[in-house]
Amino acid sequence: MSQSVLEVTNLTKRYGEYLAVDHISFAIGEGEILGLLGPNGAGKSTTIQMLLGLTDPDAGSIQYFGQEFATHKVKILKRINFASAYAELQQRLTAKQNLRIFGMLYEVENLERRIDELLALLEVEEYANELFWHLSSGQKTRVILAKALLNKPRMILMDEPTASLDPDIVHKIIQLIKELQEKEKVSILFTSHNMEEVARLCDRVAFLAKGKIVLTDTPLELTKKIGTTKLLLTFEAKQKVVADFLKQHHYPAEFIRPNLVEVSLAEENIPMVLFELKKLGVWITSLTTEQPSLEDVFLHISEKQRT
């Protein structure tokens, strides 16, 4: 991995008896996008709050650009930024006025030009002089993204930045994030409930559950770890024979229709299943396999944590 832009070591946060974040450690390299995923209550928000300096950790360290966040906070905050569909700006100011204030806080040079560039890039220039509270949630999210890019940050924390956006805008935002990564080597910590988006964007994904990081890997490797493939079989008659066979071999299966079954199994077992069914006289008319997705990994981990 390239040089770490963010390095988190043993970060811990406890609220009374509740351990919200439990000794997590991870790092993000230059130009890397790390997805931080986990079910509600996993500790994502608390982690982000600590990474932004809004909440003090109980233990552990956060280092940006090799410097301790706790002791170089203002200096570091100048070089990072945050975007979220759930963040807000001052409602009684116009979009442009809000950006101007933040630009002044970040001491951005050629501020007016930068604001105009970003408003155009995010296609919200026609709303520049609208009060923020008059904007739709999609327009607000784009203005907040413009705010997040104002200071040309080296690291951006993005908490569901595309929630509430129309699909065409989501596509543009994803492209923009990719460009930021590839052309400007911006590092990004990305959270989303859209697993397809995470799989497309993230170089690595860290799964949080009950405050701990339970898995970290590339999206592809993570899906391999699930180890099951979905096999969709359409066959002629003999539903009982198929059901008995699957039950006997302990393959989790769901009959979608009497002659259509979805079976979860290891990829290498597929030929054996097909062979055995043929031997039993089952006539298979079509078959489809579906590789596990990041969503399956998410569901698998969430389920495992619940049980």
19 belongs to the binding site for another protein (CB under 8 A): no
> Minimum CB separation from another protein for residue 202, in Å?
22
Q: Is 168 in the site for another protein (CB under 8 A)?
A: no
Rounded least distance, CB 140 to another protein, Å: 11
H or E stretch at 124: none
Task: Give 131 or 284: the residue with its C-beta nearer to another protein.
Answer: 131
CA distances 295 to 1, 118, 127, 221, Å, are 26, 33, 36, 13
The smaller minimum CB distance to another protein, of residues 108 and 294, is found at: 108
55 forms part of the interface with another protein (CB under 8 A)? yes
Per CB under 8 A, 187 contacts another protein: no
Cβ of residue 229: shortest distance to another protein, in angstroms?
A: 42
Nearer to another protein (CB atom), residue 51 or residue 265? 51
**Would you tell me how many other CB atoms lie within 10 Å of the CB of residue 110?**
10
Among 9, 27, 30, 52, the residue binding another protein under the rule CB under 8 A is 52
Task: Identify whether the C-beta of residue 231 lies closer than 8 Å to the C-beta of residue 289.
Answer: yes
How far, CA to CA in Å, does 20 sit from each of 30, 50, 217, 293?
28, 11, 22, 27
Task: Tell me the window of 84-92, 117-125, 276-284, 293-301 that interacts with another protein (CB under 8 A).
Answer: 84-92
Task: State how beta strands 212-217 and 204-209 pair.
Answer: antiparallel
CA–centroid distance for 37 within its chain:
5
Tell me which of 33, 36, 77, 189 binds another protein, using CB under 8 A: 77
Q: What secondary structure letter does DSSP report for 49?
A: H
10 CB-side CA count, 13 A = 4
Shortest gap between Cβ of 133 and another protein (angstroms)?
8
Under the binding rule (CB under 8 A), the answer on residue 72 touching another protein is no
CB of 42 to another protein, least distance (A): 15
Give the Cα separation of 83 and 37 in Å (integer): 16
- For the CB of residue 78, give the shortest distance to another protein in the complex, in Å: 5
Calculate the CA 179 to chain-centre distance: 17
Helix (H) or strand (E) holding 47: helix 44-51
- Out of 30, 60, 100, 215, which residue is the one contacting another protein (CB under 8 A)? 100
Closest of 260, 257, 264 to residue 230, by C-alpha: 264
* By the rule CB under 8 A, 70 interacts with another protein: no
From residue 32, how far is each of 4, 24, 135, 155 by CA, in Å? Answer: 9, 19, 32, 9
Q: How many CB atoms lie within 10 A of CB 120?
A: 12
| Site mask for another protein (CB under 8 A), range 137-166, x = bound | ----------x-------------------
Residues forming the site for another protein (CB under 8 A) = 13, 15, 20, 46, 49, 52-56, 73-75, 77-78, 81-82, 87-94, 97, 100-102, 104-107, 131-133, 147
